[in-house]
Amino acid sequence: MQGRESVFMNLHKKLPKGDPRRDLFANTFEAYQQLAVAMKANEQGKGERPDALIGAAGVRKGMLTKVLEGNMTPNEKHLYQVWLQGHP
């Protein structure tokens, strides 16, 4: 996992502090970390299936991709604005 974390840190540093995209990027990475922990626990019989976390991580990744590409529909822009209000 350390290799992936270093890639994340390098990309994270390229986004300016205070840029909401940086927060969304960190939030997306955190979602995948939580998913990995949940999947490992489930494999060991210690947790439930991580289906909801898979969906949430996918939504965050999709939103992040659209934001970084600047390719959002009006509905996606609205969803992003709502997310921003919850993450000042």
**Domain carrying residue 31:** 2-86
Domain total for the chain? 1
Which uninterrupted H or E stretch holds 27? helix 20-43
- Across the chain, the runs of DSSP E, i.e. the strands, are none
Query: What pLDDT shows up at residue 64?
Result: 87
Q: What is the pLDDT of residues 18-66, one digit of tens each?
A: 888 888 888 888 888 889 999 999 999 998 888 888 888 888 888 888 9
Query: What pLDDT shows up at residue 68?
Result: 86
Query: What pLDDT shows up at residue 8?
Result: 66
Query: What pLDDT shows up at residue 18?
Result: 83
- For 43-67, the DSSP string reads HTTSS---HHHHHHHHHHHHHHHHH
**Residue 87 amino acid letter:** H
Query: What pLDDT shows up at residue 2?
Result: 54
